[in-house]
A and B are shown apart, each in its own frame.
Chain A
Amino acid sequence: MNSPKSSELIFDKSRSGRRAFAQAPATTAAAAIPAALLRSDKPRLPEASELQTVRHFTRLSQMNFSIDTQFYPLGSCTMKYNPRACNALALLPEFAGRHPLSPVSHGQGFLSCMYELQEMLKDVTGMKGVSLTPMAGAQGEFAGVAMIKAYHDARGDHERMEIICPDAAHGTNPATATMCGCLVREVPTGPEGDIDFDALKAAVGPKTAGIMLTNPSTLGVFERRIKEVADLVHDAGGLLYYDGANLNAILGKVRPGDMDFDVIHMNLHKTFSTPHGGGGPGSGAVGVNDRLLPFMPIPVVGKNERDGETEYNWLAEDDLPQSIGRLSGFMGNSGVLLRAYVYMRMLGRAGMQRVSEYATLNANYLAARLGEAGFELAFPTRRASHEFIVTMKREAKSVNLTAMDIAKALLDKNYHAPTTYFPLLVPECLLIEPTETESKETLDNFVAAMIEIVTAAKEDGVEYKEAPYTMPVRRLDDVKAARQLDLRYQPDKT
């Protein structure tokens, strides 16, 4: 890879008086605002030309790995191809330029897409209602747990303050429970990756507000006793929360609603291929069953049939008086929702099922190939879902090759690393998710790269403690980053 090495800042290109003149309106008179309210200093924004700016950020983009440029098997993140049409159509000028408080008379096109998206998401999740407003998975989780609490509160059941999470759960699950004012009770995982049912039995009771589960779990296996888990929790008066991080694995095959979940959030930026954008925007739409319908976050898009005319409108406080309320200034990440809508329409009914089929095929194929090559699978007796775990425990001991080392060595071979050291309960783990959009050749080449790295370590004593070598930077000093905080450019200090 031709790595740009320069880390010159945009501020280094700044020269007093230089401007991108085409981008500023002509100077007008100074605003009529009293001097006491005005700023007296001049904030140091860059002073650069348009070409310098374009060149700078284009070069920065080239210092990233991305789906468009590399295989990116980051487990739990579903890094699949983001179709270009989804972006272009969401940015049609009328959509991009629409003010969020525009009247519904100037929003029937947008609202019809949102209504149909709600309906499609109801179908694929098996839920009764969908609210699109949560702006990321973690906010969807918040909405879900807040609805569970609101449900218990509405019944006068105020003692239910505990949220049960498996030890393999995403960190957002326990963090969300805390944000909702609940206490977290962790339950362990059994040897084959299912939840430890006896421990769960001991944990549920009159204080249980609900349980948060990912299925297939973060261990890459399907929770086989899900029905018994659901019955156990429901019989104790608790509700079931489905973390949709792994929905890609079961899309169109099994629906959370049919597994008896009461509420689900979906990561539209995973399953429905909206961009990850270098860390957002996400979109965490929630689906609910009958029990939780009155508590959905607002606004929701409704539909009126009047005199043969269809009109879409907003449902808000008056329509859902028991709602947990508003979670965003307007209606969430609407432009992301448009992208997800376009993607779902392009896949269609049969395409939804193909997603989970080929995601599962790719994961099982990659697991089988790596297993054959001598890598240790964390759950060798289980089918992989859309992702699986390799543990480097053996190699770490025998040739001092840790999960971190192989992750960094993969970068030098032009592959993004899998997720490392998550879930926390498998030592030296790599969580690998190839997604359905990768070809067999890509998977084969990835296996070859993994083999090469281990072979070099075993046979030639190659160490990767200082890898990567070919990236724009070498391994970074995280300790220094945290101890000597440098969080912004301060020319007078450096």
Chain B
Amino acid sequence: MPFIPHTEKDTREMLQTIGADSIADLFDEIPRELMIDELRHVPDAMSEMEISRLMRQRAKMDGSPMCFIGAGAYEHHIPTAVWDIATRGEFYSAYTPYQAEASQGTLQTIYEYQTMITELTGLDVSNASLYDGASALAEASLMAVRTNRRVKTGRILLAPGVNPVYEQVAAAIAGAQGLTFERLPMDVASGNIDFEQLPDGREPVAVVLQQPSFAGTLDDVDKLTDWAHAEGALVVSIVNPTSLALLKPPGQWGEQGADIACGEGQPLGVPMSSGGPYFGFMTCKQKHVRQMPGRIVGRTTDLDGNPGFALTLQAREQHIRRSKATSNICTNQGLMVTAATIYMSLLGYQGLVNIANASHANTASLVDGLCAIDGIGRLYSGPFFHEAALQLDRPVAPLLDALAERDILGGFDLTSYAGTDALLVCATETKTAADIETCIAAFADIMARSGLKSA
């Protein structure tokens, strides 16, 4: 029996101890008419050898295309040591550190993670993670409402560059408690906020800024942070952790800094894996810590006075506060945080800077090459980090299909976001000059052949 150690003798003896004739007797409190004899659609068992063969065949169907898509998930090299260690049974098969003395490995790792992510974001405190970047925005919005009690509107204003899926997720989750989300106006030339058109008197409880924006642009976060604070709003920032090797951290935005930072932790050593498991990070100013959702680890001392680590501020959480908790979150993304902590330790600040610079340089050379093709140009003016929007002279979807046939994933179709034929491309440090040339040549070839040009 797979994964069940019982011999027939064991089972017999155990039933005898219980005083039952058969295992079936152990289910005798369940009304007979509710029980089924067998499942109908689950197939018969496979051995490990058989399932391994099946999974290899299926993996092969998905292939290993050359990927120039970003749009919220990024391909970075992951040092072998990261997952070698994270999948050690002691990390992989442990649970939430309820028994602190028997979970110091997980707890110390989270404490080190909290230190690293607060350093990157320039804020004071971090939780032990949320599910992903999108749901982190939902939690940050709810936290902003709990924190900024003077404002009763429940209205959150989103900068134009906030990932549209993040907005959908935040609306689905936080909308249930009456929060509403509105977009600030975009300056179509730069893709950034149109400061001339900022609304008056909307009484936002929070303003959300994403840097770099979903379309890759870099906004004047200082100016918008100061405007939001002047409006009486909290500032929630969504940031890419790799970019923070170079870009000004949220804690230093404007006069007072952002109040809460959140985002997608996937770029820090987590495989893209079709969308998950990733982890959402969240940091904030010290004074807001009691409104933060999720688990938090603190350093304390034991009976001998030696340092040790434990979950703390648990009075915020669902297992204590039940219906009055800051969130219903229980399990978070512990294993991913373990991987990210090892990743950040291996790279250090300088390693992260190199990755950020290399990703920027690769994207810049991809953008330069593509813009030299007739029919492609920059969509937005201004600087970018490692992702940039392009304007095309024809529909994007057929072009991407044709590239995919050559095993090149040529970018994210930005048409519905931008309201024009547009493409979002990204080339991280994983791409060589030859890869980038291959990509540019494929674009040029397909565009020259096709009669897809818009009328």
Contact = CB atoms under 8 A, between A and B. Distances in A.
Given A109-B58, A476-B101, 4 more contacts: A101-B71, A101-B73, A175-B328, A330-B274
Contact of B331 (A36, A282, A422, A484): A282
Contact of B26 (A85, A333, A361, A486): A361
Interface string B257-278: 0000000100000011111111
B67 interface: yes
A181 interface: yes
Most buried by B among A24, A222, A333: A24
Contacts of B338: 57, 277-278
A350 B134 CA distance: 39
Contact of A138 (B75, B91, B331): B331
A411 to B, nearest CB: 5
B351 A106 contact: no
A109 B96 contact: no
A364 B22 CA distance: 12
Contacts of B360: 31-33
Nearest to B343: A23
A318 interface: no
Contacts of B92: 66, 68, 82, 87, 275, 277
A344 to B, nearest CB: 7
Interface stretch (B118-126, B180-188, B196-204, B444-452): B118-126
B131 interface: yes
B246 interface: yes
A91 B327 CA distance: 31
Nearest to B65: A106
B324 interface: yes
Contact of A124 (B1, B42, B246): B42
A330 B132 CA distance: 9
Nearest to B355: A25
Contact of A345 (B51, B321, B325, B357): B51
B118 A488 contact: yes
Interface in A135-161: 135-139, 141-142, 146, 149
B395 interface: no
Interface in B302-333: 302-304, 306-310, 312-313, 315, 317-325, 327-333
Most buried by B among A77, A137, A335: A335
Interface string A69-105: 1101010010111110101011111111111111101
Contact of B59 (A27, A93, A101, A279): A93
A257 to B, nearest CB: 10
Nearest to B338: A278
A383 B13 CA distance: 18
A143 B163 CA distance: 22
Contact residues on B (Cβ < 8 Å of other chain), bracket: 35 or more
Given A252-B38, A326-B168, A352-B42, A66 B275 contact: no
B147 interface: no
A490 to B, nearest CB: 8
Q: Shortest 7 CB-CB distances between A and B: which pairs?
A: A348-B45, A68-B89, A330-B275, A277-B335, A109-B58, A325-B172, A100-B275
Nearest to A17: B350
A64 B36 contact: no
B346 A64 contact: no
Nearest to A176: B328
Interface in B26-40: 26-31, 34-36, 38-40
Contacts of B98: 74, 419
A455 interface: no
Contacts of B308: 7, 472-474, 476
Given A33-B360, A60-B105, A252-B38, A99 B14 contact: no
Given A19-B350, A66-B91, A138 B330 contact: yes
Given A277-B94, A335-B271, A368 B18 contact: yes
Contacts of B429: 25
Nearest to A283: B277
A353 B95 contact: no
A438 B5 contact: yes
Nearest to B20: A364
Nearest to B56: A92
Given A437-B4, A481-B299, A60 B108 contact: yes
B15 interface: yes
A283 B371 CA distance: 43
Interface stretch (A48-56, A202-210, A394-402): A48-56
Nearest to B407: A106
A486 B299 contact: yes
A60 to B, nearest CB: 4
B62 A110 contact: yes
A191 interface: no
A61 B169 contact: no
Interface in B347-367: 347-352, 354-358, 360-361, 364
A335 B272 CA distance: 9
Interface in B80-116: 81, 83, 85, 87-106, 108-109, 111-112, 114-116
A377 to B, nearest CB: 13
Nearest to A114: B274
9 contacts: A66-B92, A184-B322, A278-B95, A331-B274, A334-B275, A336-B277, A382-B29, A437-B3, A485-B289
B454 interface: no
B385 A63 contact: no
Contacts of A269: 331
Interface stretch (B226-234, B290-298, B373-381, B435-443): B290-298
B425 interface: no
A171 B320 contact: yes
B409 interface: yes
A383 B29 contact: yes
B43 A345 contact: yes
Given A94-B60, A335-B276, A474-B306, A64 B103 contact: yes
A171 B313 CA distance: 16
Given A39-B246, A471-B101, A24 B51 contact: no
Most buried by B among A25, A57, A328, A408: A57
B186 to A, nearest CB: 18
B79 to A, nearest CB: 5
Nearest to A382: B29
B30 A250 contact: yes
A141 B330 CA distance: 11
Contact of B131 (A62, A139, A297): A139
A38 B247 contact: yes
B101 A66 contact: no
A435 to B, nearest CB: 10
Nearest to A438: B5
A335 B79 contact: no
Given A67-B89, A123-B39, A124-B39, A179 B108 contact: no
A27 B360 CA distance: 12
A440 B91 contact: no
A9 B108 contact: yes
B45 A349 contact: yes
B45 A350 contact: yes
